[in-house]
Chains A and B, each alone.
Chain A
Amino acid sequence: MSDGVIDIAERVRTGAVSAETAVSQALRRLTALNSDLHAFLHTAQDQALEAARAVDAKVARGDDPGILAGVPIAIKDAICTRGLPSTAGSRILENYVPPYDATVIENLRAAGAVVIGKTNMDEFAMGSSNENSAYGPVRNPWDLERAPGGSSGGSAAAVAARIVPCSLGSDTGGSIRQPASLTGTVGIKPTYGRVSRYGLIAFASSLDQIGPFATDVRGAARVLKVLAGHDLRDSTSLDVPVSDFEAACGRSIKGLRIGVAAEYFGEGLDPEVEASVRAAIADLQAEGCIVRPVSLPHTRYAIATYYVLATAEASSNLARFDGVRYGLRVDEGDARRDLRAMYGATREAGFGTEVKRRIVLGTFVLSAGYYDAYYLKAQRVRTLIRRDFEAAFREVEVICCPTSPTPAFRLGERVDDPLAMYLSDVYSVPASLAGIPAMSIPCAPTRSGLPVGLQIAARPLDEDSMLAVASAWETRSPARSLVPPMATRSID
């Protein structure tokens, strides 16, 4: 079993262990476990070893190798990596190798982190189970018959199985938090604008945010610090100071006010999930937090709002996949002589079922005659959902609730019912619509041993309060030292 982000970085920085050793071990675990998990789509064996040796050379010279020196990291396949395939889980990008690194990848490399591979995901991040990947689903390390959640399921599973101590995902409506919850890992969706989206293959631009998974809160905080900051190549990245997220971990939470909203403990919530989350909140109260009821009355409209806005933005973003500049082209028959026929044939062959469903829905809500009734209406309801949070955050510093209404569900269980799958995100979507930071951290597992996630949300740009509560909970959580059996499997 491997160590956490901080342990590895500090040991590499002091020369106690080489980056090459740390990275080789991660690569061996990847090879040994991936046939069971299918968490990785591409392995960067040679690139990773070369990068690790460059870190070791810096340590040997006495240069600062960075705060993530030698830390092996897995990257969701929606994030562009120079010279390494980036398919976004889609056939239409099957052979795509980006000619540039996303800003977050540049930042990670500069901090000494080593990319060991690209992780499986729902196609274009559209899904909550990873079953929408064109390359087959990821399996949950806790129970291989169950889904790891989605869409960043590969990144979550890679951390849960302790192949890597940290990974990157992207979260549009819960795609980091929900898989973190289902796999018993820590997952952070930062404030919208905290992290540059340059090089993230876009799903819904007003909602997408890149964030870390890690085995522990402090490790996730260190990765977030490296990711965060203004970027001239993404005008929506905020030009605001980046605080020391790691220092926020361990900060006293005495007197800090936690809001609990009845709307997040309603119909459809699994009783074991409810009991686990309520016990965590009671424990935080015993630690000196003040627990207060808050009201978020428009929560029940969040899924409808989200599926109008996210699909509208997706239909526009995915127009770029047309067989011209990159990716698949189908130009047989008519499509050889007719540009529009080439577009249609390429997109029919390249996109999977869920992506087509969302392109059609998104195009519909934006089309003449329907725009006001659906798209503009949803944008107005988005304002009401934001106002709910603004009012609640006048009373409390953080809001605690379940991340997902259920623990990990069985593969195949929800694939035939798109609406039931969409409702998996009922507790994660509102924070996305409001643009606020939110994270998932493990709390007591179910009787059958499946992970449960506590979600902590905070005011815009106040990741510090969220992390303070998370790290205080982590030291007390009954899930603290739980790992899936495969994480301790000997690989040598």
Chain B
Amino acid sequence: MSGLKVDRDLVLHVAKLASLRLSDADTTRLASELARIVQYVEQLEELDTKDVPPTAHVALDRTPLRADDVRPGLSREDALAQAPRADQGGFAVPTFLE
């Protein structure tokens, strides 16, 4: 991926994927910082890894599933207590369907 251009457009594209609004100043600053970090990360390309399996997690072989039993959880009241807006026993959000 060397030669990749990390610019404002790429930062804005990624920020949109992450549901993150950025100011103009932040976008410009992030573009230059990320360009440096991505350049640093590209040293991984020196290594031949085509026959090396990926490690997603060090102990996936040791995490058996538990029995699917019903256990006590948070009450509705507790679960809603921290919500910025709650309404009719649920989390209230702005309209997302017309």
Contacts and interface: CB of A to CB of B under 8 A. Distances in A.
Nearest to B69: A232
Given A307-B37, A384-B52, A360 B81 contact: no
Interface residues of A, number: 74
Interface stretch (A130-138, A241-249, A288-296, A374-382): A374-382
A386 interface: yes
A213 B91 CA distance: 38
Q: Which of B44, B91, B95 is most buried by chain A, counting CB atoms within 10 A of its CB?
A: B44
A150 to B, nearest CB: 18
A384 B47 contact: yes
Contacts of B63: 235-236
Contacts of B70: none
Contacts of B41: 304, 307-308, 374, 378
Contacts of B33: 357, 418
Interface in A304-342: 304-305, 307-308, 315, 319, 322-329, 331, 335-342
B22 A192 contact: no
A359 B84 contact: no
Main secondary structure of the interface of A (DSSP, over half): helix
Interface string B23-65: 1001000100110111011011101010011111111001111
A351 B20 CA distance: 9
Nearest to A240: B62
A303 to B, nearest CB: 8
A161 B85 CA distance: 41
Given A304-B43, A325-B83, A364-B14, A192 B23 contact: no
A238 interface: yes
A380 B52 CA distance: 6
A333 to B, nearest CB: 11
A379 B53 CA distance: 8
B91 A305 contact: no
Contacts of A239: 62, 64
B18 A206 contact: no
Q: Which of A307, A338, A342, A361 is most buried by chain B, counting CB atoms within 10 A of its CB?
A: A361
Contact of B56 (A206, A329, A344): A206
Given A235-B66, A380-B49, A97 B22 contact: no
Chain A to chain B: the 9 pairs with minimum beta-carbon distance, closest first: A435-B58, A379-B54, A344-B21, A329-B84, A380-B49, A326-B82, A99-B78, A339-B96, A348-B21
